[in-house]
Structures are given as C-alpha cells and as structure tokens.
Amino acid sequence: MTNEEIRNALQDAIKGERVMLFMKGSPEQPRCGFSARVVSMLDAMGTEYSALDILPDPRIRQELSDLSGWPTIPQLFVNGELVGGCDIITEMFESGELADTLGVPQPELEQAPSAAAPGQSPPLQIG
C-alpha cells in the first residue's frame, strides 16, 4: 500500500465515521495507557465509535499526523474534526464538554475512568 493510499484510507475513515479514534491497539486490547484511557471515557459515555490501530505500519501514524497536524496518539475525531489527544479528551470528559461534543448525557463519574471496557466494534484496518 502506498502512502497516498494510506492517506486516502485515513481521510475516508475520518469523514465516514461520526466518531473515529486512532489509537495504539484496539478498544478490546489497547497497547498504551493513553489509548486505554480514551477508550474507557468513550465507553463510559455509551457512544458508538470506530477505532483504527496505528501500530501495524509506521506510515499510518506519519500520514495521520500530517493530516491532523497533531503529533501524538491517540487522536479523536468527531464529525470529521479533530477533537484532540488524551489530555484534551480527559479535560473535556471531566468538564462535560466531551458529552456535549458527542451529543450524549454526561455519565455520573467523579473522574475519568482509567481502564478499557470491552464491547466496542472491531477496529478498522488499513490494507
């Protein structure tokens, strides 16, 4: 797969999915703590989302960062717009802004969850 094909697949995922999470690993098996934290917040919200593992090919991460202008992973997009990475998502979760952005009720939690919850759809793949 060429870099252009990877970039096109990433753009299609961003435009085609209402809530799109680019992460290390999958929602069922996050491969870093930051990805696990964002998955747990999205799961706590009860929102449907799609996820894509950036680890299988280093070009995925590079093309994604070039597209978004954001260097770190995870990256969350809602309605085709970059929301941010783990720190921003955590702040938004705690303030209730993430629930507003997703159009869901704010869960009754004192702080952002730290462990991933199972049950989301399988991650998307490029290739």
Residue 116 lies in a domain: no
How far is it, in rounded angstroms, from Cα 73 to Cα 71? 7
Residue 126 lies in a domain: no
Residue 62 lies in a domain: yes
Which pLDDT belongs to residue 126? Answer: 67
Residue 120 lies in a domain: no
How far is it, in rounded angstroms, from Cα 88 to Cα 104? 18
Residue 32 lies in a domain: yes
CATH assignment at residue 19: 3.40.30.10
Q: What is the pLDDT along the chain (127 residues), one digit of tens a residue?
A: 899 999 999 999 999 999 999 999 999 999 999 999 999 999 999 999 999 999 999 999 999 999 999 999 999 999 999 999 999 999 999 999 999 999 998 887 654 454 444 445 556 666 5
Residue 41 lies in a domain: yes
Whether 54 and 41 have beta carbons less than 8 Å apart is answered as: no
Whether 94 and 41 have beta carbons less than 8 Å apart is answered as: no
| Structural domains of the chain, count | 1
Range of the domain at 31: 3-102
